[in-house]
């Protein structure tokens, strides 16, 4: 082979393997801005290029959405890349923005130059998770997020949980085990020895003291907090049927699986409230009634799925709650879907709907 041909072949090979998928999870030690929307991350000595096209996400927000909304931080600045990465200091932390936080970077690396380009940068600051029993709380409003509000777990010396108010990682509503939003104003969440009130909370443990009640202490600044039991006595919307979505998993060329919960209109003790959903239409009285329907846009076409076995939700405890699991064959997956709790076999006036549920898209089996 001639030198010219060899050189040409090497160029083809280099081009063919120029980009290799990369994933890096570790502490972010530095961010250097080139412009307001481009710069370099340093993660475990890896230098990673980011731009306005890089997706910056947390479990509860995205930079693209905040920027599109014109949301502003504490310095009245929009969330360009720099302000997402090293803008406001998160509550209870000492370093600005995400400096020192754990990030997960996915993207590509050029095996010749070693240049890493990020397609997505994800961070929940730190994955600190605690499960246990609620031992104290102060909730002065429905969401339990007024100044000083907190929930404490695992005894008097256990950690307090306070909601994250930063727009980059805002705390979601506190829910019961059915993922239904609660009204916690003036309520005690402490259980008894015979019937403890359990919880799961996820956030980051603060480096410095934050407000807890009338004092201050280190606490878990949470973005997700869920009670471990179904709590009809605490429901924000007890008088209407509701549906929640735990997840939608979609494997192209294989299966879609949708999981979640429903509840009928309930009294505080969990018994059915009954009554009419609409003129001439009765409310459900059990979590085991009706059927689940999923509508997902695939290439712009709304596509409907029902459970392959036609199974209704399964009544839970109390029986006014229900658990559902829809499974069906599928060729392609969309990015989000709407889940309906239908009244039997009719698609007219469903009892409840949850829209814009993200789809977890998996590779073909």
State the pLDDT at residue 26.
Answer: 98
State the pLDDT at residue 7.
Answer: 40
Burial of residue 240 (CB within 10 Å: 0-12, 13-18, 19+) is middle
**Do 225 and 294 meet the contact criterion of CB atoms below 8 Å apart?**
no
State the pLDDT at residue 15.
Answer: 46
* Sheet containing 242-251, strands listed edge to edge, beginning at the edge strand earlier in sequence: 314-315, 321-329, 255-263, 242-251, 360-362
SS3 annotation, the chain: CCHHHHHHHHHHHHHHCCCEEEEEEEEEEEEEEEECCEEEEEECCEEEEECCCCEEECCCCEHHHHHHHCCECCCCCECCHHHHHHCCCCCCCCCCCCCCCEEEEEEEECCCCCCEEEEEEEEEECCEEEEEEEEEEECCCCCCCCCCCEEEECCCCCCEEEECCCCCCCCCCCECCCCCEECCCCCCCCCCCCCCCEEEEEEEECCCCEEECCEEECCEEEEEEEECCCCHHHECCCCCCEEEEEEEEEECCCEEEEEEEEECCECCCCCECCCEEECCEECCCCCCCCEEEEEEEECCEEEEEECCCCCCCEECCCCCEEEEEEEEECCCCCCEEEEEEEECCECCCCCEEEEEEECEEECCC
State the pLDDT at residue 363.
Answer: 61
In the chain, where are the structural domains located?
Answer: 3-124, 128-233, 238-362
pLDDT digits (tens, 9 = 90+) for 68-127: 999 999 999 999 999 999 999 999 999 999 999 999 999 999 999 999 999 999 999 999
pLDDT digits (tens, 9 = 90+) for 174-204: 999 999 999 999 999 999 999 999 999 999 9
Task: For domain 238-362, say whether CATH 2.60.40 is its number.
Answer: yes
Strand 220-227 vs strand 314-315: parallel, antiparallel, or unpaired?
Answer: unpaired
What average pLDDT does the structure give for the chain? 94
CATH hierarchy code of domain 3-124:
2.40.50
State the pLDDT at residue 243.
Answer: 98
pLDDT digits (tens, 9 = 90+) for 293-309: 999 999 999 999 999 99
pLDDT digits (tens, 9 = 90+) for 244-266: 999 999 999 999 999 999 999 99
pLDDT digits (tens, 9 = 90+) for 222-238: 999 999 999 999 999 99
pLDDT digits (tens, 9 = 90+) for 317-345: 999 999 999 999 999 999 999 999 999 99
State the pLDDT at residue 65.
Answer: 97
pLDDT over 80 (residue 3):
no
pLDDT digits (tens, 9 = 90+) for 114-166: 999 999 999 999 999 999 999 999 999 999 999 999 999 999 999 999 999 99
Distance CA 54, CA 63 (A): 10
Those residues whose C-beta lies under 8 Å from the C-beta of residue 7, and which sit 6 or more positions away, are none
């Amino acid at each position: 082979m001639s030198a010219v041909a060899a050189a040409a072949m090497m160029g083809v090979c280099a081009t063919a393997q120029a980009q290799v998928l990369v994933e890096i999870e570790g502490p972010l030690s530095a961010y250097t801005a080139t412009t307001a929307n481009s710069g370099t991350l340093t993660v475990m000595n890896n230098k990673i290029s980011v731009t306005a096209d890089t997706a910056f996400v947390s479990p509860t927000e995205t930079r693209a959405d905040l920027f599109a909304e014109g949301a502003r931080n504490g310095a009245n600045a929009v969330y360009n890349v720099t302000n997402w990465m090293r803008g406001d200091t998160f509550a209870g932390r000492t370093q600005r923005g995400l400096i020192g936080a754990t990030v997960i970077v996915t993207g590509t690396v050029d095996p010749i130059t070693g240049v890493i380009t990020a397609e997505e940068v994800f961070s929940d600051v730190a994955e600190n998770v605690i499960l246990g029993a609620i031992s104290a709380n102060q909730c002065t409003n429905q969401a339990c997020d007024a100044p000083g509000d907190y929930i404490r777990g695992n005894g008097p010396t256990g950690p307090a949980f306070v909601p994250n108010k930063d727009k980059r990682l805002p705390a979601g509503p506190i829910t019961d085990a059915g993922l239904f939003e609660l009204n916690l104003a003036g309520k005690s969440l402490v259980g008894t020895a015979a019937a403890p009130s359990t919880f799961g909370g996820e956030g980051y443990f603060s480096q410095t003291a934050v407000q807890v009640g009338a004092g201050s202490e280190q606490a878990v600044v949470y973005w997700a907090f869920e009670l471990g039991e179904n709590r009809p006595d605490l429901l924000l919307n007890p008088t209407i049927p509701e549906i929640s979505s735990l997840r939608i998993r979609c494997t192209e060329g294989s299966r879609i699986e949708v999981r979640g919960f429903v509840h009928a209109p309930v009294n505080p003790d969990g018994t059915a409230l009954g009554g009419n959903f609409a003129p001439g239409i009765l409310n459900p009285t059990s979590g085991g009634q009706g059927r689940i329907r999923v509508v997902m846009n695939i290439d712009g076409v709304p596509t409907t799925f029902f459970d392959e076995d036609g199974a209704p939700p399964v009544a839970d405890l109390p029986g006014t709650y229900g658990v559902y699991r829809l499974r069906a064959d599928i060729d392609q997956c969309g990015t989000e879907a709407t889940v309906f709790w239908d009244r039997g076999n009719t698609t007219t006036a469903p009892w409840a709907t949850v829209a814009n549920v993200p789809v977890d898209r998996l590779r073909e089996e």
